[in-house]
Each structure stands twice: as structure tokens, then as C-alpha cells.
Amino acid sequence: MERTRIVEGRNFLGYLLPNNVLSISIIAIFTALNFIVTYWIQIPIPATGGYINVGDITVMFTALLFGPIIGGITGGLGPMLADFFSGPYIIYAPATLIIKGIEGFVIGIISNPKGCKGRISLRDGLAVIIGGILIPLGYFIYEAFILRLGVFTALAEVPGNFFQFIVAAVFSILLIIASRKNIIEGLPQVFNKIFVSIESEE
């Protein structure tokens, strides 16, 4: 009963809002991780001035592990900072904040790791497909209609973004299979600050 009173009004679909030191620390750590992985490998696309990267692996992994709130916040902030500190790619920072933030949020909502009992579920596969499709779709819209590069120019980056999405989906799922169950079960004191227990929801 006490646990229920504590979390009432302070959660979103069973995921606690980041109003404690532990959650904020996890957000900081995984924002930094998403930044580093996005910034680490950058393959330029001359036609659009954008680039392909492997940062979506950690964006997806974070959302699959922690859910929509942490997944959305770190997914948007980390890659956005990578754009911001990457010289000519700074023009993509606003789009990245929105696209990758929504990607992490959607993946976290669909996969719902709070309710996952095993290493992986069908929801995880569906999550990375639906969330990942936002990468080519979101950047196409931004390049074609916001940057006004034109539809045909924006299409030049679509195959690379699809490749980025597929690679990220595969590797994030492999990482989740290898680690999620052990991490959640091994660190209950951490996830008690992130998830609302099923008992408390009832």
C-alpha cells in the first residue's frame, strides 16, 4: 500500500518519472554512451551533408532495457550532441533530437521491458522495426521539406539510413538477448527506481 501511494501520479504507464538521483544518473550515463557511439563512426553522405552511424544500436538497446522515458530522453539527447559537436552535421541536431527521441520512446512503449519475463519477446522485434523505420522516414522528411534539399536528393540517404536501421535492430536485439534478463534480475534495486512493480500497479 505504501509503495502504491509513493508512485501514484509519478509514473507513465508503469515507468517512474526521472525524479530520483539514480534515474538521473542512468540518463546521464546512457546519454553519454549514445553520444560516444554515434560520434565514434561517421560515414558521410555527400549528397545531403548527413552521415550514417551506428549510434542507433545503443538508442534501441537503452529503450529495450529501460523503457520509453529513459529511452526517449537519452535517445534524443545523445545523438543530438553528436551532431552538435560534429562540425558540418550540426544542422541535423534539431531533427536528431526529435527523430531519435521519438524512436527511443516508441521502442520503449512497444517492447515494454517492465512486463518482460524472459530474455526477449515478440514485442521487442516489433518495437525495433516500428521505431527503427523512423530513421529513414524522419530524415527523409527533414531533408526534403525542412532543409528543402528536394525529394530526389533526400532519397540518396534513404538506403544508408535503412542499412543503419537494420544493423541497429539486429545488434540491439542480440545485446538484449545476451544481457537484459541478467541485468534486471541482478540489479533489482536499480529497476525498482525505474519500473513500477506489477504488485504496486495492482
What predicted TM-score, i.e. pTM, was given to this entire model?
A: 0.92
CA–CA dist 177, 74 (Å, integer): 21
**pLDDT recorded at residue 197:** 63
Rounded mean pLDDT of 160-179? 96
Q: Is the pLDDT of residue 3 over 50?
A: no
- For 43, left (φ over 0), alpha (ψ -120 to 50), or beta? beta
Region for residue 112 given its phi and psi (left: phi exceeds 0; alpha: psi -120 to 50; beta: otherwise)? left
- Which one is predicted more confidently, 48 or 31? 31
Q: What is the mean pLDDT of residues 69-95?
A: 96
Domains of the chain by start residue, with CATH: 2-195 (1.10.1760.20)
pLDDT tens digits, 65-77: 999 999 999 999 9
Exposure of 116 in the CB half-sphere (CA atoms within 13 A): 28
Task: Answer yes or no: is pLDDT of 176 > 80.
Answer: yes
For the chain, what percent of residues have pLDDT higher than 90? 74
Give the three-state DSSP class for 11. Answer: strand
Per-residue pLDDT at 68: 97
In this prediction, residues 172-187 reach a mean pLDDT of: 92
Helix (H, G, I), strand (E, B) or coil at 192: coil
Q: Which of 9-13, 20-24, 81-85, 155-159 has the lowest mean pLDDT?
A: 9-13
Query: Strand, coil or helix: what is 67?
Result: coil
